[in-house]
Each structure stands twice: as C-alpha cells, then as structure tokens.
C-alpha cells in the first residue's frame, strides 16, 4: 500500500512538473483561431500597450497580415498606457500605422458614437487585466459588448491569464448603491476570472446585452498558474509584487492616505504625515503616470510592504489589515474615509465595521458565504481548470 501511494505521489509530481513546463500561449498568439474570421471584414480593436502577440503588437501584426483595421478603441491609461488613472485621453492617430485611435476615456459617455460603431464589422478585444472588480479594463470591454449588441457586431476576446486568478475573495458589489466606473458587476473584489470568462459570465447571467461573443482561449494556463506579466498593465503597477498587493492597497485610494503613487513603489506601501510609530518614510512626487499624486511633496510616515513574500500576500488575499492599521494610527477617524472607499469595497459594512473596531477576520466572515456562492455560479463560465 505504501508503495502504491508513493507511486501515485510520484506520478502527481511528474504531472505537476509537466504542467509547469508547458508553454503558455495567450489568445493573441493563436492567430489561426481568429485571423480567418477577419478576412474581408472591417476590424476595430479594443486594446492598449499590453496587446502583444509574441514580440509584436497586435495592431502591427494585423496590419502586416493585411487585415483591414479601421480603428483602435483605447481604455483607461490610453492606447500606449501612459496616462494617469482616470485621466481624460483625447482621440488621436497611431503614429506607426496611421490608424485612428478612439478614446473611451475622453470625458464623454464611454460609449462610441453611432458613426464609429457603424465603421466596423468585428471587434477584437485584447487587454491584460489584473483580476480586480475595480480595475477598469473589463468595464471598457462590457461597454463595448453592449454597444456591439446594439449594432449586431461580433466581438472576439483574445484572452490572457489573470495574475490574481488563483483565488476569489472580498465582498460582492451592492449594485443598487455602488455601481460605478470602478465597479460594474455583482462580483467579489477578487473575482478569479479572465477577461474572456467575465465576458461569458456577463452574457450568461444577463449582466450585458446579448451579443455574438467568442473567446480565443489561452493554452497551457490554469487558474493556479503563476503568470508574471511581461508588461506593466498600467503606470502604477510596475511590479508583480504590486499586482499581488493591489487588491488590498488600492483601498487607500478611498482614504486620506497615500499608497505610494508618485514614488518608485506604488501600491507597495502606505502612509500619511500623521501616521504614528512609522519609521518608514516616503514623499510622493509628480512623475509620469502620477502627475498629481495624493499628498504630493509631503513627507509621509507609514509601512513598507515590499518585504512581504508573494506567497504570503496571495495567502492573505483581500486583506483589510493595512487599512485598519492606518485608520487606527493616522488619528483622523472622522475624515479618514472618502466616498471612493465605498465605491471600491462596494458595500456599506466594511467601513462601518472598521469604525466599530472589528478585526479583519471578523469583517471577512461577513462576505465568506457570498464568495462561496459566487464560486459555484462562476464555475459554469470557467474556461480553465481551477
């Protein structure tokens, strides 16, 4: 019996190693799955700087292949990915290809005009998401799916791995109170879905208009795959560690604190001029991607999170301990939270329970049942093994 168990463990180890060694291919690189559908079609692309097909940008590859790309829709941070969070980005022309760029972040409705929707037959979507309800790329995709449904346009999502796809955590968004530009679906903060899976779930659950949506999947990916992003998805997520911390430290966007925007380590620290007992200091400055960061040019005391191991960050999941620590040590409880905190968390009770003195574990218990129910619902739409 012991020998049998040992043999099974060896086989499992070999299989695990084989999966680990299996090359990962993103949707954009699987050109045989979608290029034939684009022949003799007018093609629009919803993409940004992360839309790489091997060593070549998706748009450049399409042009080289003779595909008629009539326009590029750009999400938050712009087509080249350098704009600040929420910054209005004007429509322009791609210098390399001459293709018009139609910004979805130009301060208008976020929905293209009718003439732009009538200009194409097929929409290709390719953006590297990071798996958070308040990360806006999936919202741009959903807006374009809804618009495409109105004009009977086909949507093809070129899928990419979710770097935070190995777990699901956090409260479900209260859609009646807190649906916004940083939260569009009744899903947890960490939803564990790829962009393709979000699109399918939104279609299946009636969260978006019915549309002809197809997903070109990744090969060699499971939801437990550790995927190190080859390109920073946005200016203030420059490292893999910052992406792992992002679910928890982004909450500081809804407080009086700084999370390190305007430093070399955004989302990997937090602080405030009045933070008590902080030996770590940093001073936010105006830099590319963070032109006017919170507490600009003000020395902040706080906590450096760069030394926390990735595995520990992932194990802790959506962690409220950092915000609770800052709330207790900044000394401005009546002014600590802003409206954005409610939009990011998506519920009333987290703020209420922090103010009441509850621990992170006590607050987590409030959303655990909802998360388990969501995980069951989510399984219908998974394209990859959990």
**CA distances from residue 239 to 193, 233, 385 in whole angstroms, order as listed:** 21, 10, 26
Q: For position 91, what pLDDT does the model report? A: 64
Token code pair at residue 296: 């600009």
Token code pair at residue 381: 């739409």
Residue pair 201/381 in contact (Cβ under 8 Å)? The answer is yes
Task: State the DSSP code for 256.
Answer: S
The model's pTM is 0.90
The three-state secondary structure class of 54 is coil
Q: From the first residue on, what is the mean pLDDT of each consecutive set of 10 residues in the chain (386 residues)?
A: 36 39 89 98 96 95 97 76 46 84 69 92 98 96 97 98 98 98 97 98 98 98 97 94 98 98 97 91 94 96 98 98 97 89 98 97 98 98 97
Q: For position 83, what pLDDT does the model report? A: 41
Q: Would you call 107 exposed, middle or buried from its count of C-beta atoms within 10 A (0-12, 13-18, 19+)?
A: exposed
* Assigned CATH for 27-229: 3.40.50.12170
d(CA 157, CA 27): 8
Q: List the one residue out of 224, 162, 161 whose CA is nearest residue 26.
A: 161
Domain-wise residue ranges, the chain: 27-229, 240-355
Q: For position 257, what pLDDT does the model report? A: 97
The CA-to-CA distance between both ends of the chain, in Å, stands at 30
Q: Largest alpha-carbon pair distance within the chain?
A: 71
Q: For position 78, what pLDDT does the model report? A: 59
Residues 6+ apart with CB under 8 A from 366: 171, 349, 353
Residue showing tokens 């032109």: 291
């Amino acid at each position: 019996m012991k020998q049998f168990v040992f043999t099974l463990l060896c086989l499992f180890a070999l299989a695990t190693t084989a999966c680990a060694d299996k090359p990962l291919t993103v949707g954009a690189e699987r050109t045989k799955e979608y290029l034939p559908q684009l022949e003799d079609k007018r093609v629009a692309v919803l993409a940004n700087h992360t839309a790489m097909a091997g060593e070549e940008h998706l748009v450049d590859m399409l042009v080289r292949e003779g595909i008629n790309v009539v326009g590029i829709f750009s999400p938050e941070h712009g087509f080249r990915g350098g704009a600040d969070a929420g910054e209005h980005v004007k429509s322009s022309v791609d210098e390399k290809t001459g293709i018009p760029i139609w910004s979805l972040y130009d301060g208008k409705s976020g929905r293209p005009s009718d003439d732009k929707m009538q200009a194409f037959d097929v929409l290709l979507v390719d953006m590297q998401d990071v798996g958070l309800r308040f990360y806006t790329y999936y919202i741009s995709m959903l807006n374009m799916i809804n618009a495409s449904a109105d004009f009977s346009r086909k949507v093809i999502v070129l899928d990419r791995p979710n770097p935070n796809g190995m777990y699901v955590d956090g409260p479900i968004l209260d859609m009646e109170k807190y649906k916004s530009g940083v939260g569009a679906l009744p899903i947890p903060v960490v939803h564990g879905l790829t962009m393709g899976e979000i699109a399918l779930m939104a279609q299946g659950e009636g969260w978006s208009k019915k549309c002809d949506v197809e997903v070109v999947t990744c090969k060699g990916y499971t939801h437990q795959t550790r995927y190190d992003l080859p390109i920073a998805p946005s200016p203030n997520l420059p490292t893999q560690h910052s992406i792992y911390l992002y679910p928890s430290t982004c909450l500081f966007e809804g407080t009086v604190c700084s999370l390190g925007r305007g430093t070399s380590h955004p989302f990997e620290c937090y602080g405030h001029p009045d933070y008590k007992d902080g030996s770590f200091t940093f001073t936010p400055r105006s830099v590319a991607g963070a032109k006017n960061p919170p507490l600009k040019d003000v020395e902040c005391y706080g906590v450096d999170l760069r030394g926390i191991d990735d595995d520990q960050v992932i194990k802790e999941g959506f962690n409220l301990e950092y915000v609770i620590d800052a709330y207790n040590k900044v000394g401005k409880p009546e002014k600590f939270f802003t409206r954005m905190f409610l939009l990011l968390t998506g519920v009333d009770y987290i703020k209420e329970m922090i103010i009441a003195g509850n621990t992170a574990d006590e607050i987590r218990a409030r959303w655990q049942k909802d998360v388990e129910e969501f995980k069951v619902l989510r399984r219908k739409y998974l394209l990859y093994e959990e």
